[in-house]
Structure 1
Amino acid sequence: MALLIESNCINCDMCEPECPNEAIFMGKEIYEINPDKCTECVGHYDEPQCVAVCSTDCIIQDPIRKETTEQLAEKFVALTS
């Protein structure tokens, strides 16, 4: 699954620089994640770095974008080749 930032985000600026795929960006009110770029850090790290640094635990798996680890790995390859 791609990740999703919930509305209780406080814009602390911690997640955006941690994303190795540059999938996180400032939206109209809060940070957002581009699901086409989000691999949940598969291929880079053992766990999603944005989740690890989020002070409000507002980053969840996007229930609309269900992806397997294999699909996330394929996306990683496509993004980095």
Structure 2
Amino acid sequence: MVTDTNTTDIANQAAGADEGVLDNALDTAKSFLETAQEAIGDAVDATVEAVKEHPVAAAAIAAGAAAAVGGAVYAATHLGGDKEPASKK
């Protein structure tokens, strides 16, 4: 037979287990965030060094990326198919 005391004990144990799981998840998330921040910092440093070593190539890559974005915007706005076709006579 289950008594109110047993039910309360079981509920308290479950609540304690949930807090432990949440604390573990929070610690894991913090660790992942720190690792990601370090990786992003390393990538930024490597990018800055590459640009310093090869400025012309970096400018060419930036220009190519800008042209690609510009072409995509142009295509989306002018060639999107929103206009009705010309009427046939």
TM category, shorter: under 0.3
Between Structure 1 and Structure 2, which shows a larger proportion of strand residues?
1
Between structure 1 and structure 2, the one with the greater Rg is: 2
Q: TM-score, normalised to structure 2's length? A: 0.19
Relative contact order: is structure 1 or structure 2 higher (C-alpha 8 Å, sep ≥ 6)? 1
Between Structure 1 and Structure 2, which shows a larger proportion of helix residues?
2
Q: TM-score, normalised to structure 1's length? A: 0.20
